[in-house]
Amino acid sequence: MPLYEYRCPACHERFEVLQRVGDGAESVRCPECGARDVARQLSTFAAGHAGGGASSFADAGGGCGRPQCGSGFT
C-alpha cells in the first residue's frame, strides 16, 4: 500500500496516511484537529539501490555492469 501525504487547510498540519490505491480522502481525518476536509498533496519519492545512498549510485556508473547496458553516461 502506498503512503499518501495530506495537508489540512484548517490547521495547516501535514501528515501521511498508508492507504490502498484508489481510496480517496473521504475516510481521512486530520490527526491534529480532526477535520475531514483534507487535501492530498503531490509528493515525490526517493529511489535507490542496495548498498548505499546517492553517492554510491554515482560511483557505480549508473549501469547494471553488463556490456549491453552501458555505463549510464555518454
pLDDT digits (tens, 9 = 90+) for 28-53: 999 999 999 999 998 776 676 666 55
Judge contact between 38 and 7, C-beta under 8 A. Answer: yes
Query: What cell numbers appear for 40 in the block?
Result: 492530498
- Residue 31 is assigned to a structural domain of this protein: yes
- Domain membership flag for residue 27: yes
Number of domains in the chain: 1
| 65 within domain boundaries | no
Residue 15 lies in a domain: yes
Kindly tell me if the per-residue pLDDT of 2 is higher than 70. Answer: yes
Residue 28's domain is classified under what CATH number? Answer: 2.20.28
**Comparison of pLDDT for 47 and 18, the residue scoring more:** 18
Domain span at residue 13? 1-41
Instruction: Characterise 52 by phi-psi region: left (phi > 0), alpha (psi -120 to 50), beta (else).
Output: left
Q: Would 9 be classed as within a structural domain?
A: yes
In-domain check, residue 48 = no
| Verdict on whether the full-model pTM lies above 0.85 | no
